[in-house]
Amino acid sequence: DVKVTQSSRYLVKRTGEKVFLECVQDMDHENMFWYRQDPGLGLRLIYFSYDVKMKEKGDIPEGYSVSREKKERFSLILESASTNQTSMYLCASVLAGLTDTQYFGPGTRLTVL
C-alpha cells in the first residue's frame, strides 16, 4: 500500500530556531513536493524535487530550503523560524510523467512562538 510519512504530526518551535521537517515515501517516486496549507488559501507549493539532489522553487520559497539526498526522503528546512511560518505542512510524492495522483502525507502542524 502506498505510504508517505512525515516525521512529526505536531511541532512547537521558538522564533529563530532551525526547523527540520522530514518526509519519506516508499513508492520509489521521482517527484516530491512540500506545500503549506492555510485556511482559505488552500495548498501553496514551497519547493519540489524531481530527482535526487534536484530541487525547484515553488510559489512561496522565501524562508525555506530543501534537501533531497536520497530518493525516498525530502526534507524541508526553516533556517530561522518566524511566527508567520506557523502553518500545516504537507508533503506529497508522485511518479514522474503525467501522473496526477499525488500521494500526500498526514501533515505536520508547526507552531512558531
Partner 1 sequence: GQQLNQSPQSMFIQEGEDVSMNCTSSSIFNTWLWYKQEPGEGPVLLIALYKAGELTSNGRLTAQFGITRKDSFLNISASIPSDVGIYFCAGRRDNAGNMLTFGGGTRLMVKP
Interface residues with partner 1 (CB under 8 A)? 4, 9, 31, 33, 35, 39-45, 48, 50, 58-59, 90, 92, 94, 96-107
* Torsion over CA: 16, 18, 24, 29 (sign): positive
CB count, 10 Å around CB of 109?
A: 15
- Least separation in angstroms between residue 46's CB and partner 1 is 11
**Residue number, 17 or 22, with CB nearest to partner 1:** 22
For residue 50, the tally of other CB atoms under 10 A from its CB is 14
Beta carbon of residue 14, minimum distance to partner 1 (angstroms, whole number): 25
